[in-house]
A and B are shown apart, each in its own frame.
Chain A
Amino acid sequence: MATRQEFSDFLKSTELRAFKQAVFAVRDENMALDIVQEAMMKLTGKYADKPVEELPLLFQRILQNAIYDHYRRQRSQSLLTTLFSAFLPPLSQGEHDHYDADSDPLETMHVADDKKYGKNPQIALEETELIAVIEKALEDLPLRQREAFLLRYWEEMDVRETARIMGCSEGSVKTHCSRAAHALAANLRSKGVTL
């Protein structure tokens, strides 16, 4: 059974990548944070008795399921919104003010600063632009291809583990990865990016 420290280290090492994966999937940072929160709470609440070696696989499975759940919820919510939006009263000015005036404890939270200001500004700018192009290309990939690509190459999982997380065969994982790599390369080439 994993200890609190092991859980903490694991979550710390994976939270940023999990957040990015969720952002690629849902294209909204707040939604992505909700998804990461849901996945972390589920992992710590239901799988606290699992050994630390099983955590990466479990967490990825939970995260992917949370992303699928988000899609399902969004589909049913958009249907309800379309049907009933005409009956909802618009927010009054006072209600808007109330939301803006909410104090957020996160505003005052201390976070360790990262060392990103040591680079040549031109190189830093080029890199930022390149990253933005790549992120956009990743967002444009079909869901399953992106999922396979990120799990296989970014999370460094093997084909068998990726297949278990995605709930498909190993052959499908290889196909998704290959298609994703080709689509990414083609997309980047079309934007004049050579890697």
Chain B
Amino acid sequence: MNKDDCVEKKVVELLDQSLKGINKRTAARLQYIRNNALENFESGNRMIPDGRLAHIFAAITWHKNAAKLLFIVLFILLLAWAGSVWQIKYHVEDNGTADANFLVDDLDGDAHPDEPLELWHHPARSR
């Protein structure tokens, strides 16, 4: 048996002994913490619902989580929309034209990439 294999037993033995050396003040604080935790246990127990109430609480939690997810999806959509608007706006400002990269493909395809924006046929405006 390796010499190092015995070290853990002796270390644990000494650590157990070291617990006796914890000073009174620390022991008192630990006791105080434990008492607080037990009070917390009692108040927590009163709050744990059972039966029908448990189903209602579970439903509320489920809806809260669903609402959070929905908000996240909506936020991502909003970001995507804002990004596309920004891209179109600055692209047009830079070039003064609607080019084939995104406008013509997305709409009716009448506009030539080199045409100025004013001549570009928007489906809504055409109607």
A33 touches B38 (CB 8 A): no
B residues less than 8 Å from A191 (CB atoms): none
B20 touches A116 (CB 8 A): yes
Cα A16 to Cα B121 with chains together (Å): 78
**Distance (whole angstroms) from the CB of A39 to the closest CB of chain B:** 9
Interface digits, B29-48 against A, CB 8 Å rule (1 contact, 0 not)?
11111101110111011001
A8 touches B34 (CB 8 A): yes
Cα A60 to Cα B51 with chains together (Å): 31
Query: By the criterion of a CB under 8 Å from any partner CB, how many residues of chain A are at the interface?
Result: 47
B4 at the interface (CB under 8 A from A): yes
B6 at the interface (CB under 8 A from A): yes
A134 touches B14 (CB 8 A): yes
Residue among B7, B24, B29, B45 with max Cβ neighbours from chain A (10 Å): B7
Cα A149 to Cα B44 with chains together (Å): 33
From the candidates A8, A40, A131, A177, name the one contacting B33 in the complex (CB within 8 A). A40
Cα A57 to Cα B4 with chains together (Å): 27
A residues less than 8 Å from B14 (CB atoms): 127, 130-131, 134
Cα A134 to Cα B30 with chains together (Å): 23
**Distance (whole angstroms) from the CB of A192 to the closest CB of chain B:** 15
B residues less than 8 Å from A182 (CB atoms): 4
B residues less than 8 Å from A184 (CB atoms): 4, 7-8, 11
B37 touches A48 (CB 8 A): no
Known A-B contacts A44-B38, A153-B12; A16 and B29 likewise in contact (beta carbons under 8 Å): no
From the candidates A40, A49, A111, name the one contacting B28 in the complex (CB within 8 A). A111
A15 touches B7 (CB 8 A): no
Residues of A within 8 A of B (CB): 4, 7-8, 11-12, 15-17, 19-20, 29, 33, 36-37, 40-41, 43-46, 48-49, 105-107, 109, 111, 113-114, 116, 127-128, 130-131, 134-135, 138, 149, 153-154, 177, 181-182, 184-185, 188, 195
Apart from A40-B34, A41-B36, what are 4 other A-B pairs with CB-CB below 8 Å?
A: A7-B41, A19-B22, A113-B24, A153-B11
Complex A-B, nearest 4 residue pairs according to Cβ-Cβ distance, in ascending order: A44-B41, A40-B37, A195-B10, A185-B4
